[in-house]
A = this chain, B = another copy of it.
């Protein structure tokens, strides 16, 4: 399968929600969760993560919440995915770095052609910004 995680979907929905209203306006996690039927606790974690990555600004306390930290036109979808998942999405195991890379795949004959496809996919995610998610 080639599929984004629910976390990423939720993150995109929340960010879009913020982008669709006046810049700087504060939105709470609960508000978004209720609005879109997303489990609150899970969304909260996603937003915390996005906060840590500098994608959104967090405001604690009683009138707190989150607000977009950047211009939606300058936030590519790829950055959102990366912020939430931590790792860069890699199409096939034999392309990944680190210890779990090619153990079986020393003999892997597929590696180099797949890097091209990989590049295409990354471009697809990189060329779309939050502002385009209308």
Contacts and interface: CB of A to CB of B under 8 A. Distances in A.
Nearest to A78: B117
How many copies altogether? 2
A63 interface: no
Contacts of A113: 128, 132-134
A67 to B, nearest CB: 18
Interface string A70-108: 000000010000000101011111100000000010011
Interface size class of A (residues with CB under 8 A): 35 or more
A124 B120 contact: yes
A56 interface: no
Contacts of A1: 3, 5, 85, 87, 89
A121 B123 CA distance: 9
Contacts of A107: 35-37
19 contacts: A1-B3, A1-B85, A1-B87, A1-B89, A2-B3, A2-B4, A2-B89, A2-B90, A2-B91, A3-B91, A13-B108, A13-B110, A16-B109, A37-B107, A77-B117, A110-B133, A113-B133, A120-B120, A120-B123
